[in-house]
DNA sequence: GTGGAAGACGAGCTATCGCTCGTATCCTAT
DNA sequence: ATAGGATACGAGCGATAGCTCGTCTTCCAC
């Protein structure tokens, strides 16, 4: 396997001026990733677009990968803030509305910055941040599993771990695919949400009657 | 968006000797992709591993991307041959066994060469082959949709297009995730297949009774 | 058996990459 | 006011990338 470059920031920025520099670098990285893709995102170009000298760039980030990792981090934080909130709120809801909310937030999360999300989804493996993203997936999975456990009596599934995996993976994939590759479906997002909800419920809930 | 390099082969190999050269190049590309990743797969290195001079490489492929595209192509062909066969066979099967077979073949297909599949899944967007892969997905989707239509009377879903999208996307995602990131699940692949089958059937079939 | 097309070769060009380091400027504690 | 740490600068180094082109070798139709 390939050797991993360091992806941690080099030092904290302590003065306001330098914090602005760091922000500009991360922002410029995100913009270049979206506009030109990972390959054309050279450190020189990033520094340029940030209006910062290449020397300053290397004061804060040891490599291009570290910069991309910072972008990923920022994006993930945005997503998880939203997902965590909603998946915590659903605890008190009945199954049907809980699942509907979960599906909706998955779509919402993917729509936060779809173009960036797409580039990142493609580039994350190369930056060696896969574990971190796996950790996020696992958190979503764990939150959902927690909910299932609290409602175990109302479910027809027995292996809640497996069920949570199946649900979380599918919901994520549906949201991901729809947002990134089938935007026309979002014109009637409600219909998609309803269908996905029926999908999940048909699996989780015992047949009526 | 980034400028696209040409990805078409440069010329056909007509003599046996040159066909061997082309094969060696594609094979070497695949091996280096798996072993070292896309970034370290330089044309010089590929030519080296193939035991072919760099000049010969450029006689047949105009760029590194073209070589990777050839690898993708070969791999996709392997996968689709299998998937097409099975999805055609299921036409005569009742829903339950048809879905089970479909799930099984999705997993099977991802297991053909998982390490290569993983690298390719990550790198395909950069090679601009996304449409081609989308075409494959659409073929899988269309085949499955055809089956659903032939059984429409036995289903509870109404929008078969949407249903096929939901099923195909989920099955693919479950197979993909399990094979690439949760190999421990494959120790009991039967259990996974059964669960996924229940999952899909709960959505497609009307409640019993 | 020979001429010309097909194939193979690899030194080396240009471009760009990631990155360092010596120097200049700014900020703040005293 | 000023010392000295924090911050910013950017010319330019070494490495490596993709790729060309002039030359040599092999194959095959006649």
Kindly give the residue spans of alpha helices, DSSP state H, lying in A111-188.
114-123, 130-150, 160-181
B63 touches strand D (CB under 7 A): yes
How many C-beta atoms lie closer than 10 Å to residue B4's C-beta? Answer: 9
> Protein A200 CA to nucleic acid C20 C1', in Å?
56
Name the nucleotide nearest A62; use CA and C1'. C19
Strand D bases, protein C-beta under 7 A: 6-12, 16-22, 26-28
Residue B124 DSSP code: G
| Strand C nucleotides with an atom less than 7 Å from a protein beta carbon | 6-12, 16-22, 26-28
Instruction: Check if the beta carbon of residue B114 is closer than 8 Å to that of residue B122.
Output: no
Look at B166 and A191 and tell me if their CB atoms are within 8 Å. Answer: no
The dihedral formed by the CA atoms of A162, A167, A173 and A178, expressed in degrees to the nearest 10: 170
Q: Is A36 on the interface with B (CB under 8 A)?
A: yes
CB contact under 8 A, B174 and A170: yes
Closest CA to C20 C1' — which residue?
A: A55
Radius of gyration of chain A measured on its C-alpha atoms: 20
* CB proximity B13–strand C (7 Å threshold): yes
Cα–Cα distance, B177 to A165 (Å, whole number): 10
Contact criterion met (CB below 8 Å) for A90 and A147: yes
Q: Is A172 on the interface with B (CB under 8 A)?
A: yes
Calpha distance A159→B171 (Å, rounded): 19
Residues of chain A positioned with their CB less than 8 A from the CB of B40? 2
CA A95 – CA B101 distance, rounded (Å): 30
Give the per-residue pLDDT at A13: 65
The verdict on A191 touching B (C-beta cutoff 8 Å) is yes
Strands (E), chain B: none
Residues of chain B with pLDDT under 70: 1-6, 14, 209
Separation between Cα atoms, residue B192 and residue B209, nearest integer Å: 26
Domains and CATH numbers, chain B: 16-65 (1.10.10.60), 70-204 (1.10.357.10)
pLDDT of residue A190: 97
Q: pLDDT by residue for chain A (209 residues), tens digit each?
A: 333 456 777 666 667 778 999 999 999 999 999 999 888 999 999 999 999 999 999 999 999 999 999 999 999 999 999 999 999 999 999 999 999 999 999 999 999 999 999 989 887 777 777 778 888 989 999 999 999 999 999 999 999 999 999 999 999 999 999 999 899 999 999 999 999 999 999 999 998 76
Q: Compare CB distances from B39 to A122, A126, A199 and report the shortest one's residue.
A: A126
- Does A198 sit within 8 Å of B202, measured CB to CB? no
| pLDDT score of B2 | 35
Q: Give yes or no for CB of A199 within 7 Å of strand D.
A: no
Task: Tell me the CA–C1' distance in angstroms for A65 and D6.
Answer: 25
């Amino acid at each position: 396997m390939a050797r991993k470059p360091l992806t941690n920031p080099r030092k904290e920025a302590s003065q306001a001026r330098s914090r602005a520099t760091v922000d500009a670098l991360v922002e410029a990285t995100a913009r270049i990733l979206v506009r030109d893709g990972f390959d054309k995102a050279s450190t020189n170009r990033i520094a340029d677009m940030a209006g910062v000298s290449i020397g300053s760039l290397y004061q804060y980030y040891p490599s291009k990968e570290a910069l991309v990792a910072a972008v990923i981090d920022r994006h993930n934080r945005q997503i998880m803030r939203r997902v965590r909130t909603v998946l915590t709120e659903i605890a008190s809801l009945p199954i049907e509305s809980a699942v509907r909310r979960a599906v909706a937030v998955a779509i919402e999360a993917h729509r936060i910055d779809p173009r960036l999300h797409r580039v990142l989804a493609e580039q994350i493996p190369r930056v060696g941040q896969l574990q971190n993203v796996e950790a996020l997936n696992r958190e979503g999975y764990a939150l959902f599993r927690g909910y299932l456990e609290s409602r175990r009596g109302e479910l027809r599934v027995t292996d809640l771990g497996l069920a949570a995996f199946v649900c979380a993976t599918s919901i994520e994939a549906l949201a991901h695919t729809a947002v990134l590759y089938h935007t026309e479906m979002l014109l009637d997002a409600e219909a998609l949400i309803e269908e996905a909800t029926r999908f999940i419920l048909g699996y989780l809930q015992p047949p009526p009657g």
